[in-house]
Chain A
Protein backbone atom coordinates (compact mmCIF):
# COMPACT_ATOMS: atom_id res chain seq x y z
CA UNK A 1 0.00 0.00 0.00
CA UNK A 2 2.83 2.36 0.93
CA UNK A 3 4.24 2.06 -2.55
CA UNK A 4 0.96 3.22 -4.08
CA UNK A 5 1.00 6.35 -1.93
CA UNK A 6 4.42 7.45 -3.12
CA UNK A 7 4.23 10.34 -5.64
CA UNK A 8 6.48 8.47 -8.09
CA UNK A 9 3.69 5.92 -8.30
CA UNK A 10 0.62 8.07 -8.90
CA UNK A 11 2.10 11.35 -10.20
CA UNK A 12 2.54 10.27 -13.86
CA UNK A 13 -1.08 9.16 -14.04
CA UNK A 14 -2.34 12.30 -12.32
CA UNK A 15 -0.41 14.57 -14.68
CA UNK A 16 -1.73 12.72 -17.72
CA UNK A 17 -5.31 12.88 -16.41
CA UNK A 18 -5.08 16.63 -15.83
CA UNK A 19 -3.63 17.06 -19.30
CA UNK A 20 -6.43 15.02 -20.87
CA UNK A 21 -8.98 17.01 -18.88
CA UNK A 22 -7.57 20.28 -20.18
CA UNK A 23 -7.54 18.95 -23.77
CA UNK A 24 -11.14 17.83 -23.32
CA UNK A 25 -12.18 21.28 -22.09
CA UNK A 26 -10.43 22.97 -25.01
CA UNK A 27 -12.11 20.56 -27.41
CA UNK A 28 -15.52 21.05 -25.80
CA UNK A 29 -15.06 24.81 -26.07
CA UNK A 30 -14.36 24.70 -29.82
CA UNK A 31 -16.67 21.85 -30.86
CA UNK A 32 -19.66 21.86 -28.48
CA UNK A 33 -21.49 19.34 -30.68
CA UNK A 34 -18.74 16.72 -30.27
CA UNK A 35 -17.84 16.98 -26.61
CA UNK A 36 -19.83 18.29 -23.63
CA UNK A 37 -17.93 20.43 -21.11
CA UNK A 38 -16.87 18.33 -18.11
CA UNK A 39 -18.82 20.45 -15.56
CA UNK A 40 -21.99 19.72 -17.59
CA UNK A 41 -21.28 16.00 -17.38
CA UNK A 42 -20.78 16.33 -13.65
CA UNK A 43 -24.03 18.23 -13.16
CA UNK A 44 -25.90 15.68 -15.30
CA UNK A 45 -24.68 13.05 -12.86
CA UNK A 46 -25.41 15.01 -9.70
CA UNK A 47 -28.75 16.62 -10.50
CA UNK A 48 -30.44 13.22 -10.57
CA UNK A 49 -28.15 10.65 -8.94
CA UNK A 50 -31.11 8.36 -8.26
CA UNK A 51 -31.71 8.04 -12.01
CA UNK A 52 -28.14 6.90 -12.65
CA UNK A 53 -28.06 4.70 -9.58
CA UNK A 54 -31.22 2.90 -10.63
CA UNK A 55 -30.09 2.38 -14.22
CA UNK A 56 -26.60 1.33 -13.14
CA UNK A 57 -28.12 -1.26 -10.86
CA UNK A 58 -30.24 -2.64 -13.72
CA UNK A 59 -27.20 -2.94 -15.98
CA UNK A 60 -25.01 -4.37 -13.23
CA UNK A 61 -27.62 -6.98 -12.35
CA UNK A 62 -27.97 -8.04 -15.99
CA UNK A 63 -24.22 -8.21 -16.34
CA UNK A 64 -23.62 -10.30 -13.22
CA UNK A 65 -26.60 -12.63 -13.74
CA UNK A 66 -25.62 -13.18 -17.37
CA UNK A 67 -22.04 -13.78 -16.28
CA UNK A 68 -23.19 -16.34 -13.74
CA UNK A 69 -25.27 -18.18 -16.35
CA UNK A 70 -22.42 -18.09 -18.86
CA UNK A 71 -19.94 -19.26 -16.25
CA UNK A 72 -21.96 -22.24 -15.08
CA UNK A 73 -22.72 -23.33 -18.64
CA UNK A 74 -19.12 -22.84 -19.85
CA UNK A 75 -17.51 -24.59 -16.87
CA UNK A 76 -19.86 -27.55 -17.08
CA UNK A 77 -19.18 -27.84 -20.79
CA UNK A 78 -15.42 -27.49 -20.18
CA UNK A 79 -15.56 -30.48 -17.83
CA UNK A 80 -17.47 -32.44 -20.45
CA UNK A 81 -15.07 -31.65 -23.30
CA UNK A 82 -11.98 -32.25 -21.19
CA UNK A 83 -13.26 -35.65 -20.08
CA UNK A 84 -14.84 -36.90 -23.29
CA UNK A 85 -12.85 -36.66 -26.51
CA UNK A 86 -15.92 -37.22 -28.68
CA UNK A 87 -17.69 -34.32 -27.00
CA UNK A 88 -14.65 -32.13 -27.56
CA UNK A 89 -14.63 -32.91 -31.27
CA UNK A 90 -18.32 -32.16 -31.56
CA UNK A 91 -18.54 -29.06 -29.39
CA UNK A 92 -15.35 -27.09 -29.91
CA UNK A 93 -15.83 -26.22 -33.61
CA UNK A 94 -19.32 -24.90 -32.86
CA UNK A 95 -17.98 -22.91 -29.92
CA UNK A 96 -15.29 -21.36 -32.10
CA UNK A 97 -17.79 -20.37 -34.79
CA UNK A 98 -20.06 -18.93 -32.13
CA UNK A 99 -17.14 -16.92 -30.82
CA UNK A 100 -16.27 -15.35 -34.16
CA UNK A 101 -19.90 -14.45 -34.89
CA UNK A 102 -20.37 -10.80 -33.80
CA UNK A 103 -22.74 -10.79 -30.85
CA UNK A 104 -23.79 -7.26 -31.77
CA UNK A 105 -25.35 -8.88 -34.85
CA UNK A 106 -27.14 -11.57 -32.89
CA UNK A 107 -28.53 -9.17 -30.31
CA UNK A 108 -31.42 -7.75 -32.41
CA UNK A 109 -32.50 -11.27 -33.36
CA UNK A 110 -32.66 -12.24 -29.71
CA UNK A 111 -34.64 -9.12 -28.88
CA UNK A 112 -37.16 -9.99 -31.58
CA UNK A 113 -37.41 -13.51 -30.19
CA UNK A 114 -37.48 -12.76 -26.46
CA UNK A 115 -38.86 -9.25 -26.26
CA UNK A 116 -37.71 -6.26 -24.24
CA UNK A 117 -37.46 -8.00 -20.88
CA UNK A 118 -34.30 -9.22 -19.26
CA UNK A 119 -34.15 -12.57 -21.11
CA UNK A 120 -32.25 -11.38 -24.24
CA UNK A 121 -29.87 -9.33 -22.07
CA UNK A 122 -28.99 -12.31 -19.93
CA UNK A 123 -28.52 -14.51 -23.00
CA UNK A 124 -26.23 -12.03 -24.76
CA UNK A 125 -24.19 -11.37 -21.62
CA UNK A 126 -23.98 -15.10 -20.98
CA UNK A 127 -22.85 -15.73 -24.55
CA UNK A 128 -20.19 -13.03 -24.51
CA UNK A 129 -18.75 -14.48 -21.29
CA UNK A 130 -19.11 -18.07 -22.38
CA UNK A 131 -16.19 -18.53 -24.74
CA UNK A 132 -13.23 -17.21 -22.72
CA UNK A 133 -14.34 -19.33 -19.77
CA UNK A 134 -14.84 -22.43 -21.90
CA UNK A 135 -11.40 -22.17 -23.50
CA UNK A 136 -9.47 -21.33 -20.35
CA UNK A 137 -11.28 -23.85 -18.17
CA UNK A 138 -10.81 -26.68 -20.64
CA UNK A 139 -7.10 -25.87 -20.98
CA UNK A 140 -6.82 -25.61 -17.18
CA UNK A 141 -8.62 -28.89 -16.57
CA UNK A 142 -6.10 -30.62 -18.79
CA UNK A 143 -3.08 -28.83 -17.30
CA UNK A 144 -2.35 -31.38 -14.56
CA UNK A 145 1.14 -32.75 -15.31
CA UNK A 146 1.37 -36.36 -16.45
CA UNK A 147 3.53 -37.56 -13.49
CA UNK A 148 0.90 -36.33 -11.03
CA UNK A 149 -1.81 -38.21 -12.92
CA UNK A 150 0.36 -41.33 -12.90
CA UNK A 151 0.84 -41.18 -9.14
CA UNK A 152 -2.91 -41.08 -8.66
CA UNK A 153 -3.51 -43.69 -11.32
CA UNK A 154 -1.18 -45.99 -9.36
CA UNK A 155 -3.54 -45.77 -6.37
CA UNK A 156 -6.55 -46.26 -8.61
CA UNK A 157 -8.15 -42.85 -8.12
CA UNK A 158 -11.51 -42.73 -9.91
CA UNK A 159 -12.24 -40.28 -12.68
CA UNK A 160 -14.36 -38.22 -10.34
CA UNK A 161 -11.61 -38.16 -7.71
CA UNK A 162 -9.04 -37.02 -10.27
CA UNK A 163 -11.45 -34.32 -11.42
CA UNK A 164 -12.23 -33.16 -7.91
CA UNK A 165 -8.79 -33.31 -6.32
CA UNK A 166 -6.51 -32.59 -9.28
CA UNK A 167 -8.21 -31.17 -12.35
CA UNK A 168 -10.65 -28.63 -10.92
CA UNK A 169 -8.23 -27.09 -8.38
CA UNK A 170 -5.53 -27.13 -11.07
CA UNK A 171 -7.79 -25.21 -13.45
CA UNK A 172 -8.48 -22.34 -11.03
CA UNK A 173 -5.63 -20.11 -12.14
CA UNK A 174 -6.77 -20.45 -15.75
CA UNK A 175 -10.36 -19.78 -14.74
CA UNK A 176 -9.36 -16.62 -12.90
CA UNK A 177 -7.45 -15.43 -15.97
CA UNK A 178 -10.71 -15.84 -17.89
CA UNK A 179 -12.67 -14.02 -15.19
CA UNK A 180 -10.31 -11.04 -15.50
CA UNK A 181 -11.45 -10.77 -19.11
CA UNK A 182 -15.04 -11.72 -18.61
CA UNK A 183 -16.09 -9.51 -15.67
CA UNK A 184 -15.60 -6.24 -17.60
CA UNK A 185 -16.90 -7.97 -20.72
CA UNK A 186 -20.18 -8.78 -18.99
CA UNK A 187 -20.92 -5.03 -18.80
CA UNK A 188 -20.28 -4.80 -22.54
CA UNK A 189 -22.75 -7.63 -23.13
CA UNK A 190 -25.43 -5.99 -21.02
CA UNK A 191 -25.03 -2.59 -22.72
CA UNK A 192 -25.03 -4.07 -26.23
CA UNK A 193 -28.25 -5.89 -25.40
CA UNK A 194 -29.85 -2.73 -24.01
CA UNK A 195 -28.82 -0.71 -27.05
CA UNK A 196 -30.33 -3.29 -29.39
CA UNK A 197 -33.60 -3.38 -27.52
CA UNK A 198 -34.73 0.08 -28.54
CA UNK A 199 -37.20 1.33 -26.00
CA UNK A 200 -36.24 -1.13 -23.29
CA UNK A 201 -37.25 0.18 -19.93
CA UNK A 202 -34.00 0.71 -18.06
CA UNK A 203 -30.26 0.28 -17.93
CA UNK A 204 -27.34 2.53 -18.80
CA UNK A 205 -27.52 1.38 -22.44
CA UNK A 206 -31.07 2.71 -22.64
CA UNK A 207 -30.00 5.91 -20.89
CA UNK A 208 -27.37 6.42 -23.59
CA UNK A 209 -29.82 5.69 -26.36
CA UNK A 210 -32.57 7.94 -25.10
CA UNK A 211 -30.17 10.80 -24.26
CA UNK A 212 -28.37 10.62 -27.60
CA UNK A 213 -31.64 10.69 -29.54
CA UNK A 214 -32.43 13.91 -27.68
CA UNK A 215 -28.94 15.32 -28.23
CA UNK A 216 -28.14 15.41 -24.52
CA UNK A 217 -24.44 14.75 -24.83
CA UNK A 218 -23.64 15.47 -21.19
CA UNK A 219 -25.99 12.68 -20.05
CA UNK A 220 -24.52 10.27 -22.64
CA UNK A 221 -21.04 10.92 -21.34
CA UNK A 222 -22.14 10.70 -17.75
CA UNK A 223 -23.48 7.20 -18.47
CA UNK A 224 -20.26 6.28 -20.28
CA UNK A 225 -18.18 7.35 -17.29
CA UNK A 226 -20.38 5.35 -14.96
CA UNK A 227 -19.92 2.28 -17.18
CA UNK A 228 -16.16 2.73 -17.19
CA UNK A 229 -16.19 2.98 -13.42
CA UNK A 230 -18.38 -0.11 -13.14
CA UNK A 231 -16.06 -2.17 -15.34
CA UNK A 232 -13.01 -1.03 -13.40
CA UNK A 233 -14.57 -1.89 -10.06
CA UNK A 234 -15.53 -5.35 -11.32
CA UNK A 235 -11.97 -5.91 -12.52
CA UNK A 236 -10.64 -4.79 -9.15
CA UNK A 237 -13.02 -7.18 -7.42
CA UNK A 238 -11.80 -10.20 -9.44
CA UNK A 239 -8.18 -9.27 -8.90
CA UNK A 240 -8.65 -9.07 -5.13
CA UNK A 241 -10.52 -12.38 -5.00
CA UNK A 242 -7.89 -14.01 -7.21
CA UNK A 243 -5.06 -12.84 -4.97
CA UNK A 244 -6.80 -14.45 -2.02
CA UNK A 245 -7.80 -17.67 -3.75
CA UNK A 246 -4.49 -18.28 -5.48
CA UNK A 247 -2.19 -17.18 -2.69
CA UNK A 248 -0.26 -20.46 -3.09
CA UNK A 249 0.65 -19.41 -6.58
CA UNK A 250 2.83 -16.53 -5.49
CA UNK A 251 6.34 -17.56 -4.57
CA UNK A 252 6.33 -16.90 -0.85
Chain B
Protein backbone atom coordinates (compact mmCIF):
# COMPACT_ATOMS: atom_id res chain seq x y z
CA UNK B 1 0.00 0.00 0.00
CA UNK B 2 1.34 3.40 -0.97
CA UNK B 3 0.96 6.52 1.12
CA UNK B 4 -2.22 7.39 -0.73
CA UNK B 5 -5.51 6.50 0.95
CA UNK B 6 -7.40 7.40 -2.20
CA UNK B 7 -5.84 7.05 -5.61
CA UNK B 8 -7.72 8.00 -8.77
CA UNK B 9 -6.15 7.48 -12.20
CA UNK B 10 -7.74 8.62 -15.44
CA UNK B 11 -11.30 8.43 -14.12
CA UNK B 12 -13.97 8.98 -16.76
CA UNK B 13 -17.72 8.80 -16.33
CA UNK B 14 -20.55 9.40 -18.77
CA UNK B 15 -24.08 9.77 -17.42
CA UNK B 16 -26.21 6.93 -18.67
CA UNK B 17 -29.32 9.02 -19.22
CA UNK B 18 -30.37 10.54 -22.55
CA UNK B 19 -28.07 13.57 -22.16
CA UNK B 20 -24.87 11.48 -22.34
CA UNK B 21 -23.15 14.30 -20.46
CA UNK B 22 -19.49 13.63 -19.75
CA UNK B 23 -19.63 13.90 -15.97
CA UNK B 24 -15.95 13.23 -15.39
CA UNK B 25 -12.99 13.20 -17.75
CA UNK B 26 -9.38 12.24 -17.03
CA UNK B 27 -9.49 12.70 -13.26
CA UNK B 28 -6.13 12.05 -11.57
CA UNK B 29 -6.04 12.58 -7.82
CA UNK B 30 -4.00 11.23 -4.98
CA UNK B 31 -5.13 11.82 -1.40
CA UNK B 32 -2.39 10.96 1.12
CA UNK B 33 -3.40 9.11 4.27
CA UNK B 34 -4.72 11.32 7.03
CA UNK B 35 -5.23 14.42 4.87
CA UNK B 36 -8.35 16.55 4.76
CA UNK B 37 -9.07 17.29 1.12
CA UNK B 38 -12.00 19.32 -0.19
CA UNK B 39 -13.43 19.24 -3.68
CA UNK B 40 -14.94 22.52 -4.78
CA UNK B 41 -16.61 23.49 -8.01
CA UNK B 42 -19.82 24.79 -9.57
CA UNK B 43 -22.91 22.61 -9.90
CA UNK B 44 -22.58 19.97 -12.56
CA UNK B 45 -18.80 19.65 -12.33
CA UNK B 46 -19.15 16.04 -11.22
CA UNK B 47 -17.87 16.45 -7.68
CA UNK B 48 -20.65 14.37 -6.15
CA UNK B 49 -20.23 11.77 -8.87
CA UNK B 50 -16.55 11.57 -7.98
CA UNK B 51 -17.43 11.03 -4.33
CA UNK B 52 -19.89 8.29 -5.21
CA UNK B 53 -17.21 6.56 -7.27
CA UNK B 54 -14.81 6.63 -4.32
CA UNK B 55 -17.61 5.26 -2.12
CA UNK B 56 -18.15 2.39 -4.54
CA UNK B 57 -21.74 3.46 -5.22
CA UNK B 58 -20.99 4.11 -8.88
CA UNK B 59 -18.55 2.49 -11.31
CA UNK B 60 -16.33 4.69 -13.48
CA UNK B 61 -16.45 4.11 -17.24
CA UNK B 62 -12.69 4.59 -17.50
CA UNK B 63 -9.72 4.62 -15.17
CA UNK B 64 -8.85 3.03 -11.87
CA UNK B 65 -9.92 3.76 -8.30
CA UNK B 66 -7.97 2.55 -5.30
CA UNK B 67 -9.15 3.15 -1.75
CA UNK B 68 -6.83 1.96 1.02
CA UNK B 69 -5.05 -0.22 -1.51
CA UNK B 70 -8.22 -2.03 -2.65
CA UNK B 71 -11.25 -1.39 -4.81
CA UNK B 72 -13.95 0.84 -3.28
CA UNK B 73 -16.27 -2.16 -2.93
CA UNK B 74 -13.71 -4.13 -0.98
CA UNK B 75 -13.04 -1.08 1.17
CA UNK B 76 -16.77 -0.89 1.87
CA UNK B 77 -16.89 -4.59 2.69
CA UNK B 78 -14.02 -4.16 5.18
CA UNK B 79 -15.86 -1.19 6.68
CA UNK B 80 -13.08 1.24 5.91
CA UNK B 81 -15.52 3.86 4.59
CA UNK B 82 -17.73 6.39 6.34
CA UNK B 83 -20.30 8.24 4.23
CA UNK B 84 -22.15 11.42 5.15
CA UNK B 85 -24.69 12.32 2.46
CA UNK B 86 -26.20 15.72 1.77
CA UNK B 87 -29.28 14.99 3.86
CA UNK B 88 -28.69 13.41 7.28
CA UNK B 89 -30.39 10.20 6.08
CA UNK B 90 -31.36 9.06 9.57
CA UNK B 91 -34.03 6.48 10.33
CA UNK B 92 -37.00 8.34 11.85
CA UNK B 93 -38.17 5.39 13.96
CA UNK B 94 -34.84 4.94 15.78
CA UNK B 95 -33.42 7.03 18.60
CA UNK B 96 -30.21 8.94 18.05
CA UNK B 97 -28.23 6.23 19.84
CA UNK B 98 -29.84 3.45 17.80
CA UNK B 99 -29.26 5.41 14.59
CA UNK B 100 -25.53 5.79 15.17
CA UNK B 101 -25.21 2.19 16.38
CA UNK B 102 -26.95 0.61 13.40
CA UNK B 103 -23.94 0.47 11.03
CA UNK B 104 -22.13 -1.70 13.58
CA UNK B 105 -25.05 -4.14 13.48
CA UNK B 106 -24.73 -4.85 9.78
CA UNK B 107 -21.82 -6.68 8.16
CA UNK B 108 -20.66 -7.48 11.71
CA UNK B 109 -17.85 -9.74 10.59
CA UNK B 110 -15.79 -6.75 9.53
CA UNK B 111 -16.38 -4.51 12.54
CA UNK B 112 -13.09 -3.04 13.64
CA UNK B 113 -12.74 -3.91 17.31
CA UNK B 114 -12.85 -2.26 19.68
CA UNK B 115 -15.62 0.04 18.52
CA UNK B 116 -15.84 3.41 20.24
CA UNK B 117 -18.40 4.01 22.95
CA UNK B 118 -21.21 5.64 21.01
CA UNK B 119 -22.67 7.48 24.00
CA UNK B 120 -19.29 9.01 24.66
CA UNK B 121 -18.88 9.97 21.01
CA UNK B 122 -22.35 11.55 20.97
CA UNK B 123 -21.58 13.42 24.18
CA UNK B 124 -18.36 14.71 22.66
CA UNK B 125 -20.33 15.95 19.65
CA UNK B 126 -22.67 17.88 21.95
CA UNK B 127 -25.50 15.39 21.55
CA UNK B 128 -25.36 13.98 25.08
CA UNK B 129 -28.88 15.15 25.92
CA UNK B 130 -30.33 13.91 22.65
CA UNK B 131 -29.25 10.27 22.96
CA UNK B 132 -32.79 8.95 23.42
CA UNK B 133 -34.57 11.43 21.17
CA UNK B 134 -35.76 10.72 17.68
CA UNK B 135 -34.56 12.63 14.61
CA UNK B 136 -37.88 14.52 14.28
CA UNK B 137 -37.21 16.11 17.65
CA UNK B 138 -33.81 17.50 16.61
CA UNK B 139 -32.80 20.61 14.72
CA UNK B 140 -31.29 20.31 11.24
CA UNK B 141 -27.80 20.95 12.55
CA UNK B 142 -28.11 18.30 15.25
CA UNK B 143 -29.39 15.77 12.73
CA UNK B 144 -26.39 16.35 10.51
CA UNK B 145 -24.10 15.95 13.51
CA UNK B 146 -25.75 12.60 14.25
CA UNK B 147 -25.00 11.56 10.68
CA UNK B 148 -21.35 12.54 11.14
CA UNK B 149 -21.06 10.65 14.43
CA UNK B 150 -22.63 7.65 12.70
CA UNK B 151 -19.89 7.79 10.05
CA UNK B 152 -17.09 8.20 12.63
CA UNK B 153 -18.52 5.43 14.77
CA UNK B 154 -17.01 2.65 12.68
CA UNK B 155 -13.48 4.11 12.90
CA UNK B 156 -13.29 4.46 9.14
CA UNK B 157 -9.99 5.01 7.36
CA UNK B 158 -11.69 7.18 4.78
CA UNK B 159 -14.51 9.61 5.49
CA UNK B 160 -16.56 10.86 2.54
CA UNK B 161 -18.79 13.89 3.03
CA UNK B 162 -21.08 15.23 0.32
CA UNK B 163 -21.96 18.88 1.06
CA UNK B 164 -23.08 17.93 4.57
CA UNK B 165 -23.63 21.50 5.75
CA UNK B 166 -25.17 23.03 2.64
CA UNK B 167 -28.71 23.04 4.06
CA UNK B 168 -27.75 24.78 7.31
CA UNK B 169 -27.79 28.45 8.24
CA UNK B 170 -24.47 30.23 8.58
CA UNK B 171 -24.12 30.15 12.37
CA UNK B 172 -25.04 26.50 12.65
CA UNK B 173 -22.72 25.76 9.78
CA UNK B 174 -19.71 27.31 11.53
CA UNK B 175 -20.35 25.38 14.72
CA UNK B 176 -20.68 22.18 12.70
CA UNK B 177 -17.39 22.79 10.91
CA UNK B 178 -15.69 23.31 14.25
CA UNK B 179 -17.07 20.05 15.60
CA UNK B 180 -16.16 18.13 12.49
CA UNK B 181 -12.57 19.37 12.80
CA UNK B 182 -12.43 18.41 16.47
CA UNK B 183 -13.69 14.91 15.79
CA UNK B 184 -11.34 14.53 12.86
CA UNK B 185 -8.28 15.76 14.78
CA UNK B 186 -9.10 13.35 17.56
CA UNK B 187 -10.05 10.29 15.55
CA UNK B 188 -7.98 10.78 12.45
CA UNK B 189 -9.14 9.65 9.01
CA UNK B 190 -8.53 10.61 5.44
CA UNK B 191 -11.31 12.99 4.51
CA UNK B 192 -12.76 13.78 1.12
CA UNK B 193 -15.16 16.68 1.55
CA UNK B 194 -17.37 17.96 -1.27
CA UNK B 195 -18.53 21.55 -0.89
CA UNK B 196 -19.51 24.59 -2.88
CA UNK B 197 -18.41 27.05 -0.21
CA UNK B 198 -14.95 28.58 -0.66
CA UNK B 199 -14.80 29.69 2.98
CA UNK B 200 -15.65 26.19 4.16
CA UNK B 201 -13.04 24.62 1.91
CA UNK B 202 -10.24 26.93 3.10
CA UNK B 203 -11.21 26.62 6.73
CA UNK B 204 -11.33 22.84 6.82
CA UNK B 205 -8.81 21.52 4.34
CA UNK B 206 -5.17 20.63 3.93
CA UNK B 207 -5.70 21.02 0.23
CA UNK B 208 -8.53 22.05 -2.07
CA UNK B 209 -9.27 20.44 -5.41
CA UNK B 210 -10.89 22.85 -7.88
CA UNK B 211 -13.15 21.30 -10.50
CA UNK B 212 -14.80 22.70 -13.63
CA UNK B 213 -17.82 21.40 -15.56
CA UNK B 214 -18.44 20.17 -19.12
CA UNK B 215 -16.59 17.91 -18.98
CA UNK B 216 -16.07 17.50 -15.24
CA UNK B 217 -12.35 17.83 -14.64
CA UNK B 218 -9.77 18.99 -12.10
CA UNK B 219 -8.33 22.39 -12.97
CA UNK B 220 -6.22 23.00 -9.89
CA UNK B 221 -5.12 21.64 -6.53
CA UNK B 222 -4.37 24.31 -3.94
CA UNK B 223 -2.52 23.38 -0.74
CA UNK B 224 -3.70 25.36 2.28
CA UNK B 225 -0.61 25.96 4.41
CA UNK B 226 -2.35 27.33 7.47
CA UNK B 227 -1.68 26.05 10.99
CA UNK B 228 -4.23 24.04 12.94
CA UNK B 229 -6.38 24.46 14.88
CA UNK B 230 -7.98 27.00 12.60
CA UNK B 231 -9.13 29.59 15.12
CA UNK B 232 -11.47 32.53 14.55
CA UNK B 233 -8.38 34.78 14.54
CA UNK B 234 -6.83 32.79 11.76
CA UNK B 235 -10.03 33.00 9.71
CA UNK B 236 -9.84 36.78 9.93
CA UNK B 237 -6.14 36.85 9.01
CA UNK B 238 -4.85 38.19 5.66
CA UNK B 239 -3.31 34.80 4.81
CA UNK B 240 -6.72 33.17 5.06
CA UNK B 241 -8.26 35.83 2.84
CA UNK B 242 -5.47 35.43 0.32
CA UNK B 243 -6.39 31.74 -0.03
CA UNK B 244 -10.07 32.62 -0.35
CA UNK B 245 -9.39 35.17 -3.09
CA UNK B 246 -7.04 32.83 -4.90
CA UNK B 247 -9.67 30.08 -4.96
CA UNK B 248 -12.36 32.48 -6.04
CA UNK B 249 -10.21 33.45 -9.02
CA UNK B 250 -9.48 29.84 -9.95
CA UNK B 251 -13.21 29.12 -9.89
CA UNK B 252 -13.99 32.14 -12.05
CA UNK B 253 -11.39 30.97 -14.56
CA UNK B 254 -13.02 27.58 -14.56
CA UNK B 255 -16.32 29.20 -15.48
CA UNK B 256 -14.91 31.46 -18.15
CA UNK B 257 -13.14 28.64 -19.93
CA UNK B 258 -16.60 27.29 -20.60
CA UNK B 259 -17.94 30.58 -21.92
CA UNK B 260 -20.42 30.78 -19.08
CA UNK B 261 -21.03 34.23 -17.67
CA UNK B 262 -20.59 34.11 -13.91
Residues of A within 8 A of B (CB): 145, 147-148, 150-158, 161-162, 165-166, 169-170, 172, 246, 248-249, 251-252
Complex Cα gap A210–B91 (Å): 54
Is B136 a contact partner of A158 (Cβ separation < 8 A)?
no
Q: Report if A154-B134 is in contact (Cβ < 8 Å); known contacts: A145-B89, A147-B87, A248-B92.
A: no
Residues of A within 8 A of B107 (CB): 155-158, 161
A-B pairs, top 4 by smallest CB distance, nearest first, are A157-B106, A147-B85, A147-B89, A154-B83
For the complex, count residues of B whose C-beta is within 8 A of A.
33
Contact B137 A252, beta carbon cutoff 8 Å: yes
Q: Are A148 and B91 in contact (CB under 8 A)?
A: yes
Beyond known contacts A147-B86, A155-B154, A166-B91: 4 more, CB 8 A cutoff: A145-B87, A154-B81, A155-B107, A161-B106
How close is B195's CB to chain A, nearest CB, in angstroms?
A: 17
How far does the alpha carbon of A90 sit from the alpha carbon of B110 in the complex, in Å? 37
Main secondary structure of the interface of A (DSSP, over half): helix
A148 touches B106 (CB 8 A): no
Which residue of chain A lies nearest to B77 when distances are taken between CB atoms in the complex?
A: A156
Query: For residue B81, which residue of chain A has the nearest CB?
Result: A154
Question: How far apart are B227's CB and chain A's nearest CB, in angstroms?
Answer: 32
Choose one: A154, A170, A246, A248; the contact of B76 (CB below 8 Å).
A154
B105 at the interface (CB under 8 A from A): yes
27 contacts between A and B (CB under 8 A): A148-B89, A150-B57, A150-B89, A151-B85, A151-B89, A151-B151, A152-B106, A153-B57, A154-B56, A154-B82, A154-B83, A155-B76, A156-B77, A156-B79, A156-B106, A157-B103, A157-B106, A158-B106, A161-B106, A165-B102, A165-B106, A169-B93, A170-B93, A246-B93, A248-B92, A248-B93, A248-B136
Asked if B81 and A150 sit within 8 Å, CB to CB, the answer is: no
Chain A residues with CB under 8 A of B154:
155
Chain B 70-112 near chain A by CB (<8 Å), digits 1 or 0: 0001001101011101110111110000000011011100100
Q: How far does the alpha carbon of A190 sit from the alpha carbon of B52 in the complex, in Å? A: 53
**Distance between A142 CB and nearest chain B CB, rounded to angstroms:** 16
Chain A neighbourhood of B137, CB < 8 A: 252
Chain B residue numbers with a CB within 8 Å of A251 are: 136
The CA-CA distance from A157 to B93 in the complex, in Å, is 19
User: A78 vs B260: C-alpha distance in the bound complex, in angstroms?
Assistant: 49
